[in-house]
A and B are shown apart, each in its own frame.
Chain A
Amino acid sequence: MSELVIEGLHASVVGREILRGVDLRVGSGEVHALMGPNGSGKSTLSHVLAGRPGYEVTAGSVRLDGVELLGLPVWERAQAGLFLALQYPIEVPGVSVYDALGESMEAAGRERRQVRELVGAEARRIGVDEAVLSRPLNVDLSGGERKRNEILQLAVLQPRVAVLDEIDSGLDIDALKAVARRVAELAAESGIGVLAITHYQRLLSVLAADKVHVLAAGRVVETGGPELALELERTGYAAYGGDQEEAAEPAARLPRPLV
């Protein structure tokens, strides 16, 4: 059994505190939904967990099966069993999904040769076109293709815990069902713990959550069962302070230096 334990997590972006003491536990095979108004820190939390540069952790801990992830480089967190499906998967020209997953599997001591077969089998399950696989990662892909591609990588890598950042945005209902079904299977069959960040109850109508958490102003302010999501759908986030100022990603806020 695996468990991701987040305790008292505080983090800032460009000197502004976004996370103000997050506590969460996600165990093997559990599906947790994390909801909340715009600007509440949901995406920041996902990036801080993965170790994206530009976020400063000021307090707290994140342990996966007892291993402290904070302070580890990004790839070591992934190798420790954490997967992040990005809201906006990034284009990597000239690098295919086979290249990336092959390197990752090799680093994990898995047989690199298996990557084609595993990716091919997973592509058929989720409905990713063969032609997409040989293209550079996320280059010239539609939003829906990118999201399916994230779930494909999740399934091939078989992490212990997966954080899905708005995996439902940009998906039509068929794609949403295909993606949600696969995530549910991975939780049930492979015991992957899932933390699904979403704005909408829509995802939870196809992906049954064991627990629903509300993040507001950088803290988990309420936790309940699936009924909490239904209630939020009716009442909105007004009770939690409504939408907060959007916290842009630091990469977008800081000009890139030209050398």
Chain B
Amino acid sequence: MKLPPAFSADAALALPGPAWLRERRLASWESLAACEAPTDSEEIWRYSRIDDLDLARYGLGGPAHAAPIDPASLPTGVAELLSAAGPQATVVVSRNGGEASVFNPQPGLSVAPAEERPLGGPGEPVGVPSGQRADAWVSFNGAFVLAPWRLTVSPGSTLAHPVVLVHWLDAQAAAVSPRLEVDLGDGAEAHVLEVVAGADVPMLVVPLSELSIGRGARLGFGQVQLLGRAAWQLGNQVSRVASGGALRSMTVALGGSYARVRTDSVLEGEGGDSELLAAYFGTGGQMHDLRTVQHHAAPHSRSDLLFKGAVADEAQLVYSGLIRVEKGARGTNAFQTNRNLVLSEGARAYSVPNLEIEDNDVRCSHASAVGPVDESQLFYLESRGVPAAAAERLIVLGFMDDVLERFPVAGVLPWLRGAFADKFSTRRPH
């Protein structure tokens, strides 16, 4: 893929950091340069806005953008989300992908710049699921990441309080590549909230979250995206679950102009479990683009996916999901459900489920729905005297509630309900 001068190999090499990190940046840059430029003629980019991307409009976010930020100066919405996680949560704040400040450390947890030892041990990086080509934007993140952060939970430790990582992004017209690595040792348990939030300036955000869940470990991981209206996001979340491990992950997408998250969850150990959730709401001209792969590489693993959301005004939603069951992954249970409410004539939702199954002894299902608010539900509430607009609001927020209730970090649900209610109220009345 042809890269403008701001994203040259020299630019990647000029970023600060230890020698191993600079070598990895170069290796990632080389795989990025070797990629075909993504286009919407590929299935994984179908319906997306990738053809509108012009990298030349952005500079490279660097150390100059990454001066620490005082958490007290974060916008109200972000601050309220932080406090919802509780006063004792460990809070990590990084600006434009740079060095982070850490508040409220807790026993069993280490928060530090990523180290040379690859996440999840030797072998392919977590961000590149086995047998697949790296997503171009995983490589982009690898080439231009400023300061990867790693949360390590020592084996057998259960963290008493959640960990919140805030990526605050305000580099005007810059491309930034925030990276979070979560390393849960065998038998560990933790709840992590990652907030990707930004100012209302044009930017390209290329976040990568890598989650490594050890044997018998349990991770609750929630990512809340609150980018400004001029931001583009090309994000990846990749998880690997070892035997007996369990992940519950939820992506909440509210902001951005075009905001994509690709979620790959690899169940690589026997009996691994991943519950993948998402809640989203688009208004104006927003597009949320969500792609998922539930990859069963080991026997008796289970994955359960529920993605729900709404589009209003001229907003668009793309969901495509793949359940991949490898030969030998017998006894797999895999479920995938995507439901979308379309709240206006001009809004669109595209939902494309797929199955790819190499083993016979499996149970898989997928379901998808796209449609307006149910007329009979509206009638029922209105027949009680609920004004039409309030009835629609109750139904839309009620529709979201069963997924929001499963948010993996305790205490955040009221904030989420409020955020979706606010989002609903910003759509244009019809």
Contact = CB atoms under 8 A, between A and B. Distances in A.
B375 A53 contact: yes
Contacts of A53: 375, 379
Contacts of B397: 94
Given A75-B388, A107-B390, A95 B381 contact: yes
B394 interface: yes
Given A86-B380, A91-B377, A107-B387, 11 more contacts: A84-B383, A94-B400, A95-B398, A101-B384, A103-B394, A137-B380, A157-B385, A258-B371, A259-B342, A259-B348, A259-B349
A78 B395 contact: no
Closest 8 CB pairs of A and B: A94-B398, A78-B385, A104-B385, A94-B401, A74-B382, A75-B382, A95-B398, A90-B380
A71 interface: no
A253 interface: no
A120 interface: no
Contact of B394 (A89, A95, A107, A108): A95
Nearest to A138: B380
Nearest to A159: B385
Interface of B: 342, 348-349, 370-372, 375-377, 379-388, 390-391, 394-395, 397-402
Q: Is the interface of B mostly helix, strand, loop or mixed?
A: helix
Most buried by B among A78, A100, A257, A258: A100
Contact of A92 (B370, B375, B395): B395
B192 to A, nearest CB: 26
Contacts of B386: 75, 78, 100, 103-104, 107
Contacts of B384: 78, 83, 100-101, 104, 153, 157
A256 interface: yes
B343 to A, nearest CB: 10
Contact of A78 (B342, B372, B376, B383): B383
A34 B375 CA distance: 27
Contacts of B399: 93-94
A90 B379 CA distance: 9
Interface string A153-190: 10001000000000000000000000000000000000
B398 A93 contact: yes
A89 B394 CA distance: 17
Contacts of A126: none
A99 interface: yes
A73 interface: yes
A63 interface: no
Contacts of A95: 381, 394-395, 398
Contacts of A84: 383
Given A103-B394, A251-B375, A92 B381 contact: yes
Contacts of B390: 103, 107
18 contacts: A50-B383, A75-B386, A78-B382, A78-B384, A83-B383, A89-B380, A92-B377, A92-B380, A93-B401, A99-B394, A100-B394, A103-B386, A104-B385, A107-B385, A107-B386, A251-B376, A259-B348, A259-B371
A94 B402 contact: yes
A52 interface: yes
A127 interface: no
Contact of B381 (A50, A79, A100, A256): A100
Contacts of B391: 75, 103
Interface string A123-151: 00000000000001100000000000000
Interface residues of A, number: 34
A86 B400 CA distance: 26
Contacts of B382: 73-75, 78
Contacts of A83: 383-384
Most buried by A among B371, B377, B397: B377
A75 B394 contact: no
B316 to A, nearest CB: 12
Nearest to A106: B390
B183 to A, nearest CB: 36
A107 B398 CA distance: 20
A73 B402 CA distance: 30
Contacts of A153: 384
Interface string A78-119: 110001101001111111000111011001100000000000
A90 B377 contact: yes
Contacts of A90: 376-377, 379-380
A153 B383 CA distance: 11
A136 B398 contact: yes
Nearest to B396: A94
Contact of A108 (B383, B385, B388, B401): B385
Nearest to A136: B398
Nearest to A99: B394
Contacts of B402: 93-94
A100 B395 CA distance: 10
Contacts of A78: 382-386
A83 B312 CA distance: 31
Nearest to B349: A259
B395 to A, nearest CB: 6
A8 B402 CA distance: 46
Most buried by A among B342, B371, B382, B395: B382
Contact of A259 (B372, B375, B376, B383): B372
A52 B379 contact: yes
Contacts of B370: 258-259
A245 to B, nearest CB: 23
A248 to B, nearest CB: 13
B388 A73 contact: yes
Contacts of B398: 92-95, 99, 136
Contacts of B349: 259
Contacts of A251: 375-376
A79 B386 CA distance: 8
A131 B10 CA distance: 65
